[in-house]
Structure 1
Amino acid sequence: MQDLELWTLDELCDHAFDIFEELASENLSAEDYGQYQQHYENRGYVDLVIPNGDWADMMMQDLEPELHFEAQIGLTGEAGEADIVLARILLSREKYESLCHAQWRGQ
């Protein structure tokens, strides 16, 4: 892994947000997209987590926990409500790896 050029975790978060911003209007319901547009400055978030088994099943390959992350992008809940996950995006930390798959809320 030392020969690979890797995104830092902060860069990976920025990369995930860029992908989300580019694709959200086409993949979210009008209501979810409007809610995101209205509240993203105060409540928008991205969390990086280790991908769970459903990604490996969908990709039909094993994922390396040190190279692959799931970015969960959404809005934090208000007044004790649960967070809203709008998209789950599977990414590689390797800068020149084109791996990118998304699962959108409501799809």
Structure 2
Amino acid sequence: MSGAELELWSLDELCDHAFAIFEELAEENLSAEDYVLYQQHAAASAYVDLVPATDDWVDMIAMDIDPELHVEARIGLADVNAVAEIVLARILLSKEKFETLCHARWRGQD
């Protein structure tokens, strides 16, 4: 399938997709303290930031990352000035709607 035929998520859809994944997996993967912290402050200060996937993903998942088709979603809590303060999860996603690629690194994982 050529790049012109791919159906890609919009930026808003990618953010919603990342939050849905985070919400589904956070309780099992965050420390109890981080999960409670997120639950207490999510409504006021939760954020998702989409950034280019970094090279460290290649080592973690043992496959090449295509910057045109992959993005990293950083999810966490912002301070009172809306500046990212705590990153709770980094989630590697495909921009392609029908690709199931999804890998997550949680706060506290080495």
Asked if TM exceeds 0.5, the reply is yes
Q: Which residue of 2 aligns with 1:61?
A: 63
TM-superposed CA distance for 1:58, in Å, is 1.6
- Quote the sequence identity (%): 67
Q: Which residue of 1 aligns with 2:77?
A: 75
- Partner Cα distance (2:80, 2:8) in 1: 35
CA displacement, residues 24-67 of structure 1 (integer Å, 9 cap, x when unaligned): 00000111000100001111000000011100122222211111
Matched, 1:17 2:19: yes
Q: Which residue of 2 aligns with 1:30?
A: 32
The answer for unaligned runs of 5 or more in structure 1 is none
- Partner Cα distance (2:18, 2:47) in 1: 11
Cα RMSD between the aligned structures?
A: 1.7
Regions of 4+ moved over 6 Å: none
CA displacement, residues 63-104 of structure 1 (integer Å, 9 cap, x when unaligned): 11111000000001247x961000000000101101000000
Residue type at the aligned position of 1:19: I
TM-score where L is the length of structure 2: 0.91
- Partner Cα distance (1:103, 1:69) in 2: 14
